[in-house]
Structure 1
Amino acid sequence: MVETILEYLREPLVTLSGTPVTTLTLLAAIAIVIAARIIAAIIGRSIERILEAQGLDRGMRHAANKITRYVIMLVGTFVAIGTLGVDTSAIMAGGAVLLVGIGFGLQKLAENFISGLLVLIERPIKKGDFIDAGGVLGTVEDIGLRATRVMSRDGVAVIVPNANLISSTVINYSAPTAERRFQIDVGVAYSTDLEVARKVLTDIADAEPMVLKTPTPEVRCYGFGDSSIHLVLIVWIAEAKEDLIVGSKLRFAIDKAFRQHGIVMPFPQREVHMVPPRAA
């Protein structure tokens, strides 16, 4: 019975480049691809651990892991194709034709592929960075060869094509540091003692634990409006992605403190003087 099974497995299915492709060689090719995938995962993780032990940042480790996996998978695929009897040199020679086809039909895919390599090598962004890519605000979860996955503040995974990261403006709030300057705009009435308002605002900033002590918080006057004096509380926070939380806390504290000190935040208003018409 074993001989019968082997005979069936050795039965040619198709002939490629003069070499018969059997079920056995097909299974061997599949096994090689699977083995390459497993080996790539093991080596990739090992390299990442080694780089972590050397103190390299997470983005560099992630890029090295990805590139290693892609190279091993590419080699494994070529070996598997060679096992099937396909002349790999002919595939390389046909690469020029493939590039022409890419130029016409797969231009966008090729652009994303090349952009993915550039992102991994140049590292304008890296895994864990908080970015703004075309209005998409979130944390980079994974950088693939075709697209990058960004986890938004709403917990939604957004897939951003790599070409957009190279050709469009991307704001990386985590580079060179995750710290960010943040400001709260406040309008106070013209009857307000500005020195008192300044002290109240700086005390609020100093009391908020999510606000950094250095650089020190400051209050600036940005102008005189129609209904109020425009003050701005400027603070620095440790994580750019925490700006909404810090802003909410500061605004609650400002409202409470202003009520306690009798500082008025006026709403827009206009005074209209009616001039009676002159008697004829």
Structure 2
Amino acid sequence: MLATEILDFTLLTLSGTPVTVGTVITAAVILVITWWVSRGLQRAIRRALRPRTVADSSITVITRLVHYAVIFVGIAVALDTIGFSLGALFAAGAVFAVGIGFAMQNLAQNFMSGVILLVERSIKPDDVLEVEGKVVRVVRIGIRTTIARTRDDEELIIPNSILVQGTVKNYTLQDSIFRLRALVGVVYKSDMHLVLETLKRVASEQPWRSGRRDPRVLMTNFGDSSVNFDVSVWMDDPWEAPIALSQLHQAIWWALKDADVIIAFPQLDVHLDRDVTEPIGRLTTRAA
């Protein structure tokens, strides 16, 4: 009975609701539970994100936001238990949140995009991407931006919303195999069997080519001045594609040269009618 009387003892009244010792203790217990729930969630988030090579700064930001959100909910429940009317507070908070939302729209968009990237894992550190026409390698994925490096050793700060909302080529999403294509044209008088065999041999001899795909040589079309071929070779490292393509071009050049095959270049034959050539001939004779 004494314990019940102590718990039911009214300390004060808020908006007609009595605040007893029991409600205060209940609110305190709610706050303690909220604190431990926040700690547990933060530890779980750290364990989940560290194997994903997420930057420590990004993990800290995520855990802090989760902590503040959980504490806010816990305080709101505790105040409601005591008897505080939270309707007006939430209404004012909603108006404030709308204003902040408009002001920080891009920031919130990039933040949510960062969370999506971390969860989906469609883009990871060391992935090779093509973003807005530039080939880059991902260095670090942050909660708001992603740091990437170009082939010119320039570091780019890419907003995460671009990676989530735009069309991005990920050359290493499921595997790193990458197709290189070299186009070459030879003159019409060339021995086409010799050309095909030479191009196939050159493609097969490249030291960097992938063993998972065989090279492919196709005669693509008959041009104005050349018969055109498409030489395709697959490699395992798309980041080194420019160097490999240069080596492939050089190998094709020297192989065709050694085989006495002429690489075609644009040319134009002009034929003049007799009505034009005869006056020109007479003028030449008079000048002589």
Please, what TM-score do these two structures have when normalized by structure 1?
0.70
Q: Which residue of 1 aligns with 2:252?
A: 254
The question of whether the paired residues in 1 share the 8 Å contact of 2:218 and 2:230 is answered with yes
Deviation of the 1:234 alpha carbon: 0.9
Alignment counterpart, residue 73 of structure 1, candidates 56, 59, 64: 64
How many angstroms apart in 1 are the aligned matches of 2:59 and 2:145?
Answer: 18
CA deviation digits over 1:161-193, x for unaligned, max 9? 111112211110111111012210011111111
Inter-partner Cα distance in structure 2 for 1:71 and 1:211 = 42
For 1:122, give the aligned amino acid: E
In structure 1, C-alpha distance between the alignment counterparts of 2:117 and 2:271, rounded to whole Å: 63
User: Does structure 2 conserve the Cα–Cα contact (< 8 Å) formed by 1:48 and 1:65?
Assistant: no
2:33 corresponds in structure 1 to none
Alignment equivalent of 2:216, drawn from 215, 218, 228: 218
Is contact 2:182-2:231 (8 Å) kept?
yes
1:62 & 1:98 partners in 2: Cα distance? Answer: 36
| 1:209 counterpart SS class | coil
Q: Please, which moves more after superposition, 114-123 or 222-231? A: 114-123
Does structure 2 conserve the Cα–Cα contact (< 8 Å) formed by 1:63 and 1:121?
no
Question: In structure 2, how many angstroms separate the alpha carbons of the residues matched to 1:213 and 1:114?
Answer: 40
Contact kept? 1:138, 1:151, Cα under 8 Å: yes
Q: State the match for 1:198 in structure 2.
A: 196
User: Does the 8 Å CA contact 2:55/2:141 hold for their aligned counterparts?
Assistant: no
Aligned AA (2:63): I
**Equivalent in 270, 275, 279 of residue 273 of structure 2:** 275
Structure 1, unaligned runs of 5 or more = 1-39, 52-60, 82-87
CA–CA separation in structure 1 for the residues paired with 2:168 and 2:49 = 26
Deviation at 1:76, TM superposition (A): 5.8
Taking the aligned partners of 1:236 and 1:112, their CA distance within structure 2 comes to 36
Deviations 1:70-125 (A, max 9, x none): 343335667999xxxxxx988x9465344312332111111111111111112221
**Please, which of 142, 163, 166 is the counterpart of residue 165 of structure 1?**
163
1:208 matched to which residue of 2?
Answer: 206
Structural RMSD (CA): 3.4
Partners of 1:70 and 1:182 in 2: CA distance: 41
Gaps spanning 5+ residues in structure 2: where? 1-41, 73-77, 80-85, 279-288
Structure 2 counterpart of 1:123: 121
Counterpart residue identity of residue 191, structure 2: D
Aligned to 2:263: 265
Q: Which residue of 2 aligns with 1:85?
A: none
1:156 is matched with 154
Rounded to whole Å, the distance in 2 between the matches of 1:66 and 1:172 is: 25
> How far 1:63 sits from its partner (Å)?
4.8
CA contact (8 A) 1:47 1:64 kept: no
Aligned length: 227
Q: 1:95 to 1:150 in 2, by over 3 A?
A: farther
Distance 2:130 2:226 in 1: 33
Tell me: CA distance 1:99–1:165, structure 2 relative to 1, closer, same or farther (3 Å): farther
How far apart, CA to CA, are the structure 1 residues paired with 2:119 and 2:66?
20
CA–CA distance in structure 1, aligned partners of residues 275 and 199 of structure 2: 48
- Equivalent pair of 2:171/2:178 in contact (CA under 8 Å): yes
Q: Is the 8 A contact 2:210 2:235 kept in 1?
A: yes
Further displaced range: 222-231 or 163-172: 163-172
Alignment partner, residue 55 of structure 1:
none
> How far apart are the structure 2 equivalents of 1:105 and 1:194?
66
SS in structure 2 at match of 1:187: strand
Distance 1:99 1:114, change over 3 A: farther
**Which residue matches 2:53?**
62
Letter paired with 2:266: P
